[in-house]
């Protein structure tokens, strides 16, 4: 089909609707499809983004066993407030993501809470790959190339929300694990396998950026990253959080005070 004319370009563009059908992951068992607010499959080397309301549940699924979901969160009301990985692990005395962990902002507030995890293979140390690193490792790190870097994809996702490169902090990554040995040596654990899930609860209005790219510590020669399932929904009732320490209670109190002052709780 020629695109040399306006009519031809129009016909070609409209033909893509049937040529590339949209595929979405099924909602988790027991979730009313009508309550779903965001649903998509992010290809390896792809990115996604959305704004979620407080109380929304977000489930990420490693569909093939090779996903690596880099995650950044921002306060949707004031995007200068964003995920602080260092405070998230330092304040809670825990560097390994698990159910009950709060994802803290740089203002000491809870952006989101991990409320479920069947993977146990995550990383708070190494973040996502850079373009320079991927060019040296794979020969290319551009967002449109065969081995996109996580930071380059974050730049694209951030731009959709008026954010620039200087607004991209270190990220958490999920589904490719790293553990630190007693002597300080990092050990790359890889994936827990296809079907592993991580579930988050939004604790305030948040901008979510996801970059699904090969982990920086993945030793495989080829750039390897599988599909990521993303589903967000509004639950019918509050989702309880396991008993937590004083650091968590302070973060939730800070968040509640912030939302109440703005008439949001």
Structure confidence by residue, pLDDT tens digits, 52-78: 999 999 999 999 999 999 999 999 999
In this predicted model, what pLDDT tens digit does every residue of 131-188 receive, in sequence order?
999 999 999 999 999 999 999 999 999 999 999 999 999 999 999 999 999 999 999 9
Q: Is residue 253 in some structural domain? A: yes
Structurally, how many domains does the chain consist of?
1
Per-residue pLDDT band for 16 (boundaries 50, 70, 90) equals: low
Give the domain range for residue 155: 35-235+244-261
Q: Is residue 254 in some structural domain? A: yes
Q: Is residue 137 in some structural domain? A: yes
Q: Does position 20 have pLDDT exceeding 60, yes or no?
A: no
**Secondary structure of the chain as H, E, C letters:** CCCCCHHHHHHHHHHHHHHCCCCCCCCCCCCCHHHEEEEEEECCCEEEEEEECCCCEEEEEECCCCCCEEEEEEECCCCCCEECHHHHHHHCCCCCCCCCCEEEECCCCEEEEEEEECCCCEECCCCCCCHHHHHHHHCCCCCCCCCCCHHHHHHHHHHCCCCCHHHCCCCEEECCEEEECCCCCEEEEECCCCCCEEEEEECCCEEEEEEECCCCCCCCCCCCCCCEEEEEECCCCCCCCCCCCHHHHHHHHHHHHHHHHCCCC
Q: What is d(CA 124, CA 72) in angstroms, rounded to the nearest whole number?
A: 12
Q: Is residue 7 in some structural domain? A: no
Q: What is d(CA 99, CA 197) in angstroms, rounded to the nearest whole number?
A: 11
**Mean pLDDT on 239-249:** 81
How many beta carbons lie within 10 A of that of residue 136, not counting itself? 10
First to last CA, the chain: 55
Q: Does position 8 have pLDDT exceeding 80, yes or no?
A: no
Q: Is residue 208 in some structural domain? A: yes
Q: What is d(CA 24, CA 59) in angstroms, rounded to the nearest whole number?
A: 13
Q: Record the tokens describing residue 31, joined without a space.
A: 């979730």
Q: Is residue 28 in some structural domain? A: no
Instruction: Name residue 41's beta-bridge partners.
Output: 229
In this predicted model, what pLDDT tens digit does every residue of 84-142 receive, in sequence order?
999 999 999 999 999 999 999 999 999 999 999 999 999 999 999 999 999 999 999 99
In this predicted model, what pLDDT tens digit does every residue of 38-49 receive, in sequence order?
999 999 999 999
Q: Does position 2 have pLDDT exceeding 70, yes or no?
A: no
Per-residue pLDDT band for 238 (boundaries 50, 70, 90) equals: confident
Concatenate the DSSP letters of all residues of 191-231 into one string: ---TT-EEEEEESS-EEEEEEE---TT---SS-----EEEE
Residue with tokens 């959080």: 241
Q: What is d(CA 155, CA 160) in angstroms, rounded to the nearest whole number?
A: 9
Q: Is residue 19 in some structural domain? A: no
Q: Does position 233 have pLDDT exceeding 70, yes or no?
A: yes
How many beta carbons lie within 10 A of that of residue 27, not counting itself? 17
**Torsion angle, CA of 96/101/103/108, rounded to 10 degrees?**
-110
Residue (of 20, 70, 26, 79) closest to 47 by Cα position: 70
| Stated length of the chain | 265
In this predicted model, what pLDDT tens digit does every residue of 178-193 receive, in sequence order?
999 999 999 999 999 9
pLDDT reported for residue 18: 59
pLDDT reported for residue 84: 98
Q: Is residue 47 in some structural domain? A: yes
């Amino acid at each position: 089909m020629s695109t040399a004319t306006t009519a031809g370009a129009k016909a070609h563009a409209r033909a893509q609707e049937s040529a590339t059908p949209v595929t979405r992951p099924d909602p988790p068992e027991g979730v009313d499809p009508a309550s779903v607010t965001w649903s998509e499959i992010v290809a390896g080397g792809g990115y996604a983004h959305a704004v979620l309301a407080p109380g929304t549940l977000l489930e990420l699924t490693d569909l093939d066993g090779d996903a690596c979901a880099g995650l950044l969160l921002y306060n949707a009301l004031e995007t200068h407030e964003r995920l602080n990985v260092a405070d998230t692990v330092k304040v809670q005395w825990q560097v390994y993501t698990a159910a009950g962990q709060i994802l803290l902002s740089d203002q000491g507030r809870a952006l989101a809470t991990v409320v479920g995890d069947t993977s146990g293979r995550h990383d708070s140390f190494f973040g996502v790959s850079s373009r320079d690193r991927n060019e040296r490792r794979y020969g290319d790190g551009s967002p449109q190339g065969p081995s996109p870097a996580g930071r380059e994809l974050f730049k694209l996702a951030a731009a959709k929300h008026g954010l620039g490169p200087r607004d991209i902090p270190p990220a958490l990554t999920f589904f490719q694990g790293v553990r630190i040995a007693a002597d300080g040596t990092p050990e790359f654990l890889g994936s827990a396998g296809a079907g592993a899930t991580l579930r988050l609860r939004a604790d305030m209005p948040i901008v979510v950026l996801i970059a699904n790219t090969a982990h920086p510590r993945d030793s495989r020669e080829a750039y390897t990253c599988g599909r990521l399932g993303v589903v967000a929904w509004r639950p019918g009732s509050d989702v309880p959080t396991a008993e937590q320490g004083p650091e968590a209670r302070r973060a939730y109190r800070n968040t509640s005070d912030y939302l109440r002052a703005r008439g949001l709780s």
